[in-house]
């Protein structure tokens, strides 16, 4: 662990931190302004502002720890990373490659940490840097490739469960037919956006809880995937049932938007329940390790 230095920061350190922060703001404020009016308006990337805000908050929370680190700058590697970030930014910005432009921001922050405090600064802020990966917009080709099988799987499970419950339901591809109504499982109902949102929130939850067991954290992170799928299947089933019992206007009206709350409520309950089960096996071990 890096030694702490309680002496006041030299003026050059304060100036360098200030200049680097101003540089980041000047470069990336236009990026996120553009994202706010384009990428973040889409369902699959709507969690972007939340992830950015939480990452910045985590860095702000640990700012004193960062300032207290002994300064061991790594200018060579820091400048190499900064140059790579600049090249990615120029290409991404000029060619409209959102993923490359967003990733360059992570590289630029890492470079600033290396230039000011060295690898100790990167180690301190490794989680906010990793967390920012969820801000990177998923390329359209990848999103489409993942969306199609997810929609098919959700449609299949919803139909199988409701049919077993006695409802007059059938399926053709991703179209569900229940009674006189036809419901198309749209891209937004595939669950892809909820998977990324819930995965990021679970990682943030684990960070706040400060679990020390790598196995516990891994289980939670992996299980978010099936939890997201189950929650989204429940969401589709709720919409089908509302449409069948109350009509198409109700099912496609405010209830359709309300179903998103159902999804996250189910996901949060399942995640918390899983965490409590894991607590039976890991809490005592983690408490003893802290001592």
Task: Give the model confidence (pLDDT) of 43-86 as tens digits.
Answer: 667 788 999 999 999 999 999 999 888 888 898 999 999 999 99
pLDDT-derived band at 137, boundaries 50, 70, 90: confident
Mean pLDDT of 8-14: 57
Active site residues: 189, 235
Q: How many other CB atoms are there within 10 angstroms of residue 277's CB atom?
A: 11
Predicted pLDDT of residue 21: 84
Predicted pLDDT of residue 81: 95
- Which of 109, 112, 24 lies closest to 75 in space, CA to CA? 112
Domain boundaries along the sequence of the chain: 11-135, 141-277
Mean pLDDT of the chain: 84
The residue with greater pLDDT, 277 or 264, is: 277
pLDDT-derived band at 2, boundaries 50, 70, 90: very low
The percentage of residues in the chain with a pLDDT greater than 70, rounded to a whole number, is 86
The rounded distance, in Å, linking the Cα atoms of 133 and 52 is 10
pLDDT-derived band at 196, boundaries 50, 70, 90: confident
The rounded distance, in Å, linking the Cα atoms of 216 and 198 is 17
What is the C-alpha R_g of the chain? 23
Cα–chain center distance at 258: 22
The residue with greater pLDDT, 8 or 22, is: 22
The rounded distance, in Å, linking the Cα atoms of 189 and 271 is 20
Cα–chain center distance at 128: 11
Predicted pLDDT of residue 251: 58
Mean pLDDT of 139-157: 83
Tokens coding 116: 């000011």
Residue 5 has pLDDT above 50, yes or no: no
Mean pLDDT of 122-141: 90
Question: Do 219 and 278 form a contact (C-beta atoms < 8 A)?
Answer: yes
Predicted pLDDT of residue 3: 41
């Amino acid at each position: 662990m890096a030694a702490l230095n309680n002496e006041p920061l030299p003026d050059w350190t304060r100036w360098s931190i200030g200049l680097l922060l101003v540089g980041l703001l000047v470069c990336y404020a236009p990026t996120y302004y553009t994202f706010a009016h384009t990428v973040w308006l889409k369902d699959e990337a709507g969690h972007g502002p939340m992830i950015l805000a939480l990452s910045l908050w985590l860095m702000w929370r640990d700012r004193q720890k960062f300032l207290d680190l002994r300064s061991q700058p790594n200018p060579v590697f820091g400048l190499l990373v900064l140059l790579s970030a600049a090249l990615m930014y120029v290409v991404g910005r000029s060619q409209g490659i959102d993923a490359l432009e967003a990733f360059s921001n992570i590289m630029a922050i890492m470079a600033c940490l290396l230039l000011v405090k060295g690898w100790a600064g990167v180690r301190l802020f490794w989680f906010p840097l990793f967390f920012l990966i969820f801000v990177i917009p998923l390329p359209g080709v990848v999103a489409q490739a993942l969306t199609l099988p997810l929609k098919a799987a959700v449609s299949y499970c919803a139909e199988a469960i409701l049919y077993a419950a006695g409802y007059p339901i059938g399926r053709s591809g991703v179209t569900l037919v229940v009674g006189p109504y036809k419901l198309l499982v749209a891209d937004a109902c595939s669950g892809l956006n909820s998977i990324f949102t819930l995965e990021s929130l679970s990682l943030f939850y684990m960070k706040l809880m400060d679990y020390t067991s790598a196995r516990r954290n891994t289980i939670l992170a992996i299980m978010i995937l099936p939890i997201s799928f189950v929650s989204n299947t429940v969401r589709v089933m709720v919409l089908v049932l509302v449409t069948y019992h109350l009509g198409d206007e109700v099912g496609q009206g405010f209830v359709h938007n309300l179903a998103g709350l159902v999804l996250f409520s189910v996901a949060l309950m399942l995640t918390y329940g899983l965490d409590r089960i894991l607590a039976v096996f890991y809490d005592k071990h983690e408490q003893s390790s802290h001592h």
